Structure 1
């Protein structure tokens, strides 16, 4: 019979399989899980369970090949729910019983077999009628106020079908869907624009335009980091307004060297005087508080 450590390893395997349903291009293991994969997993769990786990927790409990100590029960419940169970207890019960039960098969009567086949045919016809794919469609992503295309590196676009979230490649401000069903949705995320999720238009036109609402404070911050403004006193006053007092900044260092952490005072001091290092930083994620001040920033240093 499996012990709890073995069951936890099994749960980690199921989490990878579930992750691959959303990001099919990832075919590795936990050791090969990159910082971007970690962020994708955090976002999936937050979207699905409305719970948030930290990067540090993932590095401590999921990345290692073996685990000497079992995580807390509440965290095990979150991971089990992510894999489709009500919690850790159900996961343990199911897999312990699967490990001890001996499968037996019984011959079914022709009557029930014919009913099953008939139901499968009816179900197939129903699904075919409701999910017939249309031609490919191109989504153009523009700023709501300027009607100008948004830089490719500033947006992430996902196609959502049957709760599966598949990333799409963005080129020249456009993303192309190869097939569209009646339930297909498009989700666009950006650190500088409000998140948007819409159904794909069912019209026969090939293109559909999405107008993204800008996050003004995020765009101001981007301008600060990319500009050569010398008026440091003006910067200081404006940063005080747009940055929350409890700001957290995480800078991902190049070559997998780790990350650096800054609070509001430390980060503001770096931005007051423009440097070549600041211009090499690319904003990956921004989160605002209830007053729309910037409360969290994730940055990649290139």
Structure 2
């Protein structure tokens, strides 16, 4: 009975290591595996299938990962999770766990405690002189729809000083992570259907931070027109109808301080869904939203 209790504790620790392994490719997932749900569980099932050659059901996940089970799962599932976490199997993992010092006899505990404290002091002294690594997390959001950009991968170019540019892509959740000893990060976000943007951010230890990208309507409409994609063209028009309030105030600042031109909703939507040169040069200056709809917009056509 005592050994069974230790094995269940070892299983719970294994789930923590499984969560760590999963967050290597899915950094936005909660470190606590018991809080996973929906899409995260589905992504884990697929990642487990690809990396360990097997899978578990959602029912199993809710029974064993989200609750505190009174008994161990089947040995084949234990082997599968152990392989995913980097071990040769459950027995190999359990052997290392039992030898880790957690269950040493009482007579050895004082000696072990002094050894651990001494090692901790030495490590802390060395660590104090080593620059810490900072991990940055960013998620891309469509500035108009206020939704995560997941349909296409965003190209990310890291531009920190004294380093060659590094190239990344956002993951299936529209996010990416980057680890560096620098206290800031500078990167370019590129997308075929969004305006490119350069982001500069200092490290603050926050969780995921949003990067809002504006839709490049010229590139989007040009693609729809050139490929005769009537369905998506109509969908974009319907999106704009929902996003822009019927009584929105829309101003174009004319060049050379000639004044402003006022558009109604339908006129502005027609401008956005026609791939002209002026649309390519359209630059948004100011926006205001109310109840999720655009109620005010100022823009200009760059000369």
Same fold (TM over 0.5): no
Pair member with larger Rg: 2
